[in-house]
Amino acid sequence: MSGDAAVEPQGSGPPGPLPELPARLLDGYLDAALATLRAADPGELPGALRQYQTWTPRRLRHPRVLGLLKRTLDLDQRFRDAVDKRVVEQEAALARLLRAGRHAEALASGETPEAVATVGIALGPGGAAAVQAAVEADATGQAQAEAEAARSALAGAAGELDEARARADAEAAATRAAREELRAAREELRRAEREQRAMADRAAALQRQLADAEAALRSARAAAADEQRRLGGRVAELQAQLAEAQRRYRTLRRSSNQVDPVVAEAVAALERDLAALRRAAGLAGADRVPAAASGAGRRPERRRPLPVPAGRGADDPETLRAWMASDAVLVLVDGYNVTKHPLGFPDRDLEHQRTLLLDLCRRLARRFGTELTVVFDGGTAEPLPSRLPLGPVAVVFTDAVRTADDEIVARANAAPPERPVVVVTSDNELRERVTALGASVTRSPALLGLAAAR
């Protein structure tokens, strides 16, 4: 920095109070003081300010801190000199102009009153004229801004007055039209009153007919309610019998490879009777029949894995292609195990991962005509996918107490033994669990590789 921009020390005594200025003109100098506070060696700071050195600039703008800062600037010459030096070094060119008494030229060249006041304060007595000029320039600017605002408000008021006059003219015309409409309405009202009297007589007759119909309806509803209560009791009885029969059926299935045809037929008959009663009673879900034991004797005793094509491995994409082409196959996909695989989409957020995987599964389902179910952990996962695929793809989000692994095992176990099940996962524990259920298992890269192959 050139010598003419240096700041001369003001002496060892108190530097004297900061000039009384509008806050907007003093802010620049206070900002420089805060910057000096943050950048100084703690040993060089006044004791009262050291505790604030590590505060953020935003916290330092607290009124209590600023008040302490102003008092320190008024009383501590050394700290005041450090702030003055910082200001002059940062605004060397402006400082040279103000030292030369060319503050009017600085303001005319585009320097703001705030900058001129900041440097003028830093120059001490030599900058007093510049500070005063900045105050006058700021006052002039404020007056000009207020005058401009007044002119703008006046112009707006004139426009509003013109609009008000136009509205008044339009309202006067509308009033005249409304008077004409009122006269016509009075004539129409007299005609309507005559028609109303005729309609009142007709309404009285209809009211009597309605009262008779309501009485008949109440009687019919009472009879229907009695019948529904009777049927509801019968439904509850049959549901209890069906639940007991199904429990016995499951017990028989676990204890034997064969099911007594008489038990299976009894369960099926109960289901048919229950469905018929539900329809008769008008209950919801009348056509929904629980899983029954009918035909249980024709089921295989255990699901068998699909064969692996010759020369291929179970984790080969071509093996998955062959399995997905099988009749009635159910494919269960361990969602996050696939998306977070290194070959998947681990660098994306969870929503993007789900969307990409569901798009992939939709394409495969359409290509092979296969039913796919994708299972994700966490029923409260947020945000949910912004776009769900179309076609035979189901999406399952487990609740907080159930994992995706448990959901996949439950769905594999619930599928009929004659239906082939394919599970896509690289989780070894899950692979062991579903293999024990007779499912065919392939790792996540097989699905990703099959999707990549066109």
Per-residue pLDDT of 70-107, as tens digits, reads 888 888 888 888 888 889 988 888 888 888 888 888 88
* CA dist., res. 79 & res. 81, Å (int): 5
pLDDT digits (tens, 9 = 90+) for 122-147: 888 878 888 888 888 888 888 888 88
pLDDT at 40: 83
pLDDT at 126: 79
pLDDT at 2 over 50: no
Burial class (CB in 10 A: 0-12, 13-18, 19+), 422: buried
pLDDT digits (tens, 9 = 90+) for 230-289: 776 776 677 667 666 656 655 664 554 444 444 555 655 676 667 667 666 665 444 444
pLDDT at 289: 41
Share of the chain above pLDDT 90, in %: 30
Q: Are 55 and 68 in contact (CB under 8 A)?
A: no
Query: Which of 63-72, 313-322, 326-335 shows the lowest per-residue confidence on average (mean pLDDT)?
Result: 63-72
pLDDT digits (tens, 9 = 90+) for 211-226: 888 888 888 888 877 7
Q: 317-452 domain in CATH 3.40.50?
A: yes
Query: Which of 266-275, 355-364, 415-424 shows the lowest per-residue confidence on average (mean pLDDT)?
Result: 266-275
Share of the chain above pLDDT 70, in %: 80
pLDDT at 61 over 90: no
pLDDT band at residue 120 under the 50/70/90 scheme: confident
Every domain of the chain and the residues it spans? 8-122, 249-298, 317-452
Query: Which of 181-185, 336-340, 405-409 shows the lowest per-residue confidence on average (mean pLDDT)?
Result: 181-185
pLDDT at 245: 65
| CA 8, chain centre distance (Å) | 59
pLDDT at 249: 55
> How much is the average pLDDT of 394-399?
91
Query: Which of 28-32, 134-138, 382-386, 406-410 shows the lowest per-residue confidence on average (mean pLDDT)?
Result: 382-386
pLDDT at 432: 96
pLDDT digits (tens, 9 = 90+) for 151-186: 999 998 888 988 989 998 999 899 899 999 988 889
- Global pTM? 0.37
pLDDT at 158: 87
pLDDT at 386 over 80: no
Sign of CA pseudo-dihedral 325, 327, 328, 331: negative
Average pLDDT, the chain: 82
pLDDT at 287: 45
Q: Are 444 and 334 in contact (CB under 8 A)?
A: yes
* CA dist., res. 268 & res. 156, Å (int): 84
3-state SS record for the chain: CCHHHCCCCCCCCCCCCCCCCCHHHHHHHHHHHHHHHHHCCHHHCCHHHHCCCCCCHHHHCCHHHHHHHHHHHHHCHHHHHHHHHHHHHHCHHHHHHHHCCCHHHHHHCCCCHHHHHHHHHHCHHHHHHHHHHHHHHHHHHHHHHHHHHHHHHHHHHHHHHHHHHHHHHHHHHHHHHHHHHHHHHHHHHHHHHHHHHHHHHHHHHHHHHHHHHHHHHHHHHHHHHHHHHHHHHHHHHHHHHHHHHHHHHHHHHHHCCCCCHHHHHHHHHHHHHHHHHHHHHCCCCCCCCCCCCCCHHHCCCCCCCCCCCCCCCCCCHHHHHHHHCCCCCEEEEEHHHHHCCCCCCCCCCHHHHHHHHHHHHHHHHHHHCCEEEEEECCCCCCCCCCCCCCCCEEEEECCCCCCHHHHHHHHHHHCCCCCCEEEECCCHHHHHHHHCCCCEEECHHHHHHHHHCC
pLDDT at 348: 95
| CA 6, chain centre distance (Å) | 57
Q: Are 237 and 251 in contact (CB under 8 A)?
A: no
pLDDT at 414 over 80: yes
pLDDT band at residue 451 under the 50/70/90 scheme: confident
Q: Which residues pair with 397 in a beta bridge?
A: 376
> How much is the average pLDDT of 395-412?
92
pLDDT at 157: 86
